[in-house]
Homo-oligomer: A and B are copies of this chain.
Amino acid sequence: MSEATFERLVAHARETALLTSISGLVEWDEQTYLPRAGADYRAEQSAYLAGLVHRRNTAPEVGDWLAELRDSPLAADPASEAGCVIRQLSHRYERQTRLPAELVEAIARTSSQAQHAWVAARKADDFESFRPWLEKTLKLQREQAAAFGFERSPYDALLEEYEPGETAESVGAVLSGLREELAPLVRQIVESGVNAPSDLVCREFAVQQQEAFGKAAAAAIGFDFEAGRLDVTAHPFCGAAGPRDVRLTTRYQANDFGDGFFSILHEAGHGMYEQGLQADWFGLPPGEAISLGIHESQSRMWENLVGRSRGFWTRFFPQLSEAFPAAMAGVDPDAWWFAVNEAKPSLIRTESDEATYNLHIIVRFELERAMIEGDLEPADLPAAWNEAYANTVGVTPPSDANGVLQDVHWSAGLFGYFPTYALGNLYAAQFFDQAEADLGDLEPAFAEGEFATLLGWLRERIHSVGQRLSAADLVQKVTGKPLSHEPLMRRLRAKFGPLYGFG
């Protein structure tokens, strides 16, 4: 009996996955190739697909099937594929059916309008014009949290969407542990008085060669271009349009090699996770990414722990010099390595470095948590932002455009999303430690162009798991310990101490 119901559930979910992946393609196209005048109709196409998917996900028959299956033997082992499908789809079904349709529509509509208001406000450096939209968005997010339900904090209900199983408290604990050690490290870097030769990265790097070099590097670390592509966009992202159709995007600036190149490695990290998921469960929980944080751990690992390592540049420096003979003429490999590892407190999160990045996230997490929990009003946000930046990052924004208005997330209604960026960095370092414990030092392999060993380890331990484990259980299973800030801090100290002359 329950086998037949399970088959029905899976067949239904596979059809939904067809629509979701079509949606992914449609969004990829919107960010890459859509003609300017096509935007209005594209919005209608996307909204229609989203509605189709939502109606399928909340269809009453799905609820009936899940109710039957939850108590069946198929659900007995939660880490089995069937158990995973039943548990995860039940969780999603319950969450989605708790949201009244009017609230879903109000959030979608407000998000679109608020993002337009945000673009204008940032351009005009005018927080006050954005404030009413932030207030409206915040109100809707608090309503959404109430609809989802929560035990301690409404923030938990929102965070659950992006990092299932984590809470304001659990994330708060790990991030304040990180802050206590990271802030002093960044102060040491600043007080060292040492400056990285960052101008080396800002010479003239022709875009066409950047593309060829970046593609070659992504292929070398293991991204499969038979089952994926690389295109140009304004804000780099990675999307999947099918189990063997993963689309990386980047952007190129002729006078900033790092912006394009590290975006490619970052997105290739996301892309290799997608390519490593179980294809025969595509779009269903056993073949889906666990959480945004785990996804980000893969992008950060390949961007920073691999792509900014000495071993990586031992391998790629000669090829870089060959691809850009003029820009690289006379450049010393050590200087180049320091240049791509500059650490310096700055105003803009997306342009910040491996060392200071998490401080930007901590500021956002604390402010958005306070707003959602009712302890901070939007009217007081700019002052709170500037104070937090001065205290935590060590810089004071000269304007709201370069401060509180810099990120799209809050205008888009994405509360609870920011901390997944920092969690990604922490997961990455802890996984990488374990990989080196299992495989031995990896940098000598990188220096030989050998990346398949690390990728194989990630495939087996992380990618192929899908959602059969939660993020916390995965970390525990793979590394034998709960998540901690210590692996990341050790790596940061080991890299930046010597670079800035105090290690």
State which of B22, B231, B246 has its C-beta within 8 Å of the C-beta of A45: B22
State which of B18, B29, B48 has its C-beta within 8 Å of the C-beta of A25: B29
- Report the bound CA distance from A21 to B26 in whole Å: 11
- Report the bound CA distance from A31 to B22 in whole Å: 15
CB under 8 Å from chain B, chain A span 60-91: none
Complex contacts, A242 vs chain B, CB 8 Å = 38, 41-42, 45
Given A35-B225, A48-B18, A229-B33, A245:B25 Cβ within 8 A: no
Interface string of A31-55 (1 = CB under 8 A from B): 0011111101110110011000000
21 contacts across the A-B interface (CB closer than 8 A): A18-B44, A18-B48, A19-B48, A21-B45, A22-B22, A22-B49, A25-B29, A29-B29, A33-B229, A33-B231, A34-B245, A35-B226, A35-B245, A37-B224, A37-B227, A38-B227, A38-B242, A38-B245, A40-B244, A42-B242, A45-B242
State which of B37, B41, B225 has its C-beta within 8 Å of the C-beta of A21: B41
- Report the bound CA distance from A29 to B25 in whole Å: 9
- Report the bound CA distance from A231 to B35 in whole Å: 12
B22 and A245 contacting across the interface, CB-CB below 8 Å? no
A15 interface residue, CB < 8 Å from B? yes
Interface string of A12-31 (1 = CB under 8 A from B): 00010011011001100100
Q: B-contacting residues of A (Cβ < 8 Å)? A: 15, 18-19, 21-22, 25-26, 29, 33-38, 40-42, 44-45, 48-49, 224-229, 231, 241-246, 282
A219 to B: closest C-beta gap in Å: 13
Complex contacts, A227 vs chain B, CB 8 Å = 35-38
Q: Identify 9 new A-B residue pairs, CB closer than 8 A, beyond the known A22-B49, A35-B245, A42-B245.
A: A18-B44, A29-B29, A29-B241, A33-B229, A35-B227, A36-B226, A38-B244, A41-B244, A41-B245
Complex contacts, A41 vs chain B, CB 8 Å = 21, 242-245, 282
Return the chain B residue nearest A15 by Cβ.
B48
- Report the bound CA distance from A49 to B45 in whole Å: 13
Complex contacts, A37 vs chain B, CB 8 Å = 224, 226-227, 244-245
Complex contacts, A42 vs chain B, CB 8 Å = 242, 245
Return the chain B residue nearest A246 by Cβ.
B35
A108 to B: closest C-beta gap in Å: 16
- Report the bound CA distance from A40 to B18 in whole Å: 12
- Report the bound CA distance from A76 to B346 in whole Å: 70
Complex contacts, A38 vs chain B, CB 8 Å = 227, 241-242, 244-245
Return the chain B residue nearest A49 by Cβ.
B22
Complex contacts, A244 vs chain B, CB 8 Å = 35, 37-38, 40-41
A248 to B: closest C-beta gap in Å: 11
- Report the bound CA distance from A4 to B42 in whole Å: 27
- What are the nearest 7 A-B pairs in CB distance? A38-B245, A41-B242, A37-B244, A37-B227, A18-B48, A37-B226, A38-B242
A391 to B: closest C-beta gap in Å: 47
A376 to B: closest C-beta gap in Å: 41
- Report the bound CA distance from A246 to B49 in whole Å: 20
Most B C-beta atoms less than 10 A away, residue of A15, A227, A245, A246? A245
Complex contacts, A44 vs chain B, CB 8 Å = 18
Return the chain B residue nearest A227 by Cβ.
B37
Return the chain B residue nearest A283 by Cβ.
B41
Return the chain B residue nearest A33 by Cβ.
B229
